[in-house]
Amino acid sequence: MPLYDYKCKSCGNVFETLVLPQFKSPACPKCGKKKLEQLISTFDINSAKARKNREAREAPRVAKLRRDAKLGQAADIKARGQHH
């Protein structure tokens, strides 16, 4: 499979994508721009590197989701306590 790593020149997002002949110019999944720099990587390193990049990108979003869930649970508990 032709997987390639790219860095978006517009927003700095680093991502991995499948590039097929019929889709020669991929776009950044974050901002949609096509100003990309193809990064050089080897196949063995590519998957581990992409996974680490994805985890690093997702960490703030996951932390926010966890915080929001805890706040929502606390609000539910508080609301239930006020109705009894």
Confirm whether pTM is higher than 0.75.
Answer: no
Q: Which residues contact 12 (CB under 8 A, 6 or more apart)?
A: none
Angstrom distance (rounded) from CA 74 to CA 53: 32
Q: Is the pLDDT of residue 45 over 70?
A: no
Report the percentage of the chain scoring pLDDT > 70. Answer: 88
pLDDT at position 31: 95
Mean pLDDT, residues 30-41 taken together = 90
User: What is the C-alpha separation between 28 and 48, in angstroms, rounded?
Assistant: 20
Mean pLDDT of 38-55: 73
Distance CA 30, CA 10 (A): 10
Helix/strand/coil percent split, the chain, to 5: 50, 20, 35
Is the pLDDT reported for residue 44 higher than 80?
A: no
pLDDT at 62 over 60: yes
